[in-house]
A and B are shown apart, each in its own frame.
Chain A
Amino acid sequence: KQEVTQIPAALSVPEGENLVLNCSFTDSAIYNLQWFRQDPGKGLTSLLLIQSSQREQTSGRLNASLDKSSGRSTLYIAASQPGDSATYLCAVGGFQKLVFGTGTRLLVSP
């Protein structure tokens, strides 16, 4: 059974800092990995999808890496802004479904 863990559970940083969110998973037989953002009481916004054959994906200030053999992914956020404050969820994709971690709650203070 796939298990996904995200560390840290919460993170508070001042504006402008670069930061790294971590995701680990127990079964390396994955199709892909998605990073999502969730604002309080809202649905999920897809940030990045990394296919199992890829090592990283970039979108703007976001960069996500994937190391299947070690069961790890990181989400790097450059030059953080208060608008980045949200919960970030990592989800590992099997053939049909996503298995989610419990998220990292990020607060970026001005």
Chain B
Amino acid sequence: DTGVSQNPRHKITKRGQNVTFRCDPISEHNRLYWYRQTLGQGPEFLTYFQNEAQLEKSRLLSDRFSAERPKGSFSTLEIQRTEQGDSAMYLCASSLGQGTDNEQFFGPGTRLTVL
């Protein structure tokens, strides 16, 4: 399978715990994005990497959230001290970044439930 993969697919945690999600983009895609989707809403942008550089972060990404892409390949998104409001689907996407032909391809998502 050469698509975007995400692990785990589901995560249930208790309030106050830390969680980490992983995204493996399509190989050779230099851009990687994280989005968050709550029930009944469209995905909302969280952050974006070009290679290993994190170039933009949304105001939604509070200081409890941190994302890395250490070698310009896979990325991790960590949430510290989880809150019930963090419950959502976390989606990762990747693209080649060719100007207006910048089609983003999404993974299956990680569904987080904070009890």
Residue ranges of A at the interface with B (Cβ–Cβ < 8 Å): 4, 31-32, 34, 36, 41-46, 49, 51-53, 89, 91, 93, 96-103
Contacts and interface: CB of A to CB of B under 8 A. Distances in A.
The secondary-structure label for the interface of chain A is strand
Contact of A102 (B41, B104, B107, B109): B41
Given A52-B100, A96-B56, A91 B108 contact: no
B103 A46 contact: yes
User: How many interface residues does chain B have, given as a range?
Assistant: 20 to 34
Given A41-B111, A42-B109, A46-B104, 18 more contacts: A4-B42, A32-B101, A32-B102, A34-B103, A36-B106, A43-B6, A43-B106, A43-B109, A44-B43, A44-B91, A45-B106, A46-B105, A52-B100, A89-B42, A93-B104, A96-B55, A98-B35, A98-B45
Contact of A51 (B91, B101, B104): B101
Interface of B: 4, 6, 33, 35, 40-45, 48, 55-56, 91, 93, 99-109, 111
Choose among B33, B41, B42, B102 the residue with the greatest number of A CB atoms under 10 Å from its CB. B42
Contacts of A102: 40-42
A50 to B, nearest CB: 9
